[in-house]
Structure 1
Amino acid sequence: MFDRQLRPYIDPPLNILGGHLAVSGVSANAVTLTGLALGLLAAAAIYVGVFWLALGLILASRLADGLDGAVARFHGTTDFGGYLDIASDYLFYGAVPLAFVMHDPATNGVAGAVLLTSFYVNGATFLGYSVLAERRSMRTASHGVKSIYFTAGLLEGTETIALFIAFCLWPGWVAELSWAFAGLCFYTAISRVVLAYKVFSN
């Protein structure tokens, strides 16, 4: 929901820093994989209960996730780069809730499983919409220049990162936050299905 509103503020500094990385010879794919590695390290920190370290690693991971696009725009975007980026994002988004489940399965197990299911369904509606939009040559730059079509939703990347930050700050509330976020995530998925019906049914 807030991704589009934040983009005018975060893109300029990311483009500057990404340009410096690109000039120094760093590839966009290397930045993507670095961000994924940091995210998986955050999940490991969560599993062992070092939440302050996990928080820092999550923020560093998402910084890299923003920088890879800036580097790619400097070098020239590729289809594989976009593919690697979205695959890495989905692994990160699954690893963090899973780590909280593994850290305290008795408390977080059911809520975490429901949250991951909502991510799965929401991701399917997002990617399915993108495939159909590509077939119809639909284009949008509302979320920046992307390799795939991005549809807006109630919950997007900004809200999910805010959830993960809240998890790290208040680990005792992971289950309650997961239930609430999962409900909103299912709503987002359903609204995207309705939108797809209106746009693609004929």
Structure 2
Amino acid sequence: MLDARVRPLIDPPLNWLGRALARRGWTADRVTLAGLALGLIAALVVALGAPEWALIPLLASRLMDGLDGAVARATSKTDFGGYLDIWCDFVFYGAVPFGFAILDPDNAIAAAFLLLAFYVNGASFLGLAIMAEKRGLATTAQGQKSLYYSAGLLEGTETIVFFVLLCLFPAHFAALAWVFGALCLLTAVARVANARHQLT
């Protein structure tokens, strides 16, 4: 919901940093993998009992996730780069809730529900992206992407804010996870309804 509004604000500095990294020999894939590594470190720090400290690698991971596209635009975009980016995003999205489940077994049911909601929402997102490619549909509402990004109630910006809240208020993980998971399912239902409208 917020990605389209945030993009005009963050794209100029990201593009500047992306060009600077490209000049120093960084590739987009290297930035993507660095972002994933930082995200997994964040999940590990959560699991080891220091969710507040996990904020540092978590936010650095999301910065790298924004920078990989900027580096690609400064050099060359590839289909594999787009594929690697979305795969790493989903690994990260799964790792953080798993870290909270390890941190406190009482979080396990809420974490499982959240992961289910991510799975359902991710399927609605990627399935529409596949069909949109088949039909030649395109959108730049969320910026220049390697695949069709369907808008939704919850997008990348909201998910980052949610993960930050989890790290700041780990004692409230379960409540936050149930609410965010429910909103993810609502987003998925809306995407399926939108897909029916677009594809029939």
TM-score surpassing 0.5?
yes
- Cα RMSD (Å): 0.6
- Residues 44-193 of structure 1 mapped to structure 2, 5 A cutoff: 44-105=44-105, 107-193=106-192
Look up the equivalent residue of 1:87 and give its one-letter code.
Answer: W
In the TM superposition, residue 100 of structure 1 has moved relative to its aligned partner by 0.2
- C-alpha distance in structure 2 between counterparts of 1:195 and 1:144, whole Å: 20
Give the TM-score of the pair, scaled to structure 2: 0.99
Counterpart residue number, 2:21: 21
What's the offset of the Cα at 1:53? 1.9
Q: Matched residue pairs, number?
A: 200
Q: In 1, distance between residues paired with 2:117 and 2:52?
A: 26
Q: CA offsets per residue over residues 61-108 of structure 1, 9 Å max, x none?
A: 000000000000011100000000000000000000010011101x21
Distance 2:47 2:104 in 1: 8
SS at match of 1:145: coil
In the alignment, what sits opposite 2:10?
A: 10
Normalised by the length of structure 1, the TM-score is 0.98
Are 1:36 and 2:57 an aligned pair?
no
* CA distance in structure 2 between the partners assigned to 1:94 and 1:51 by the alignment: 16
Structure 2 SS opposite 1:66: helix
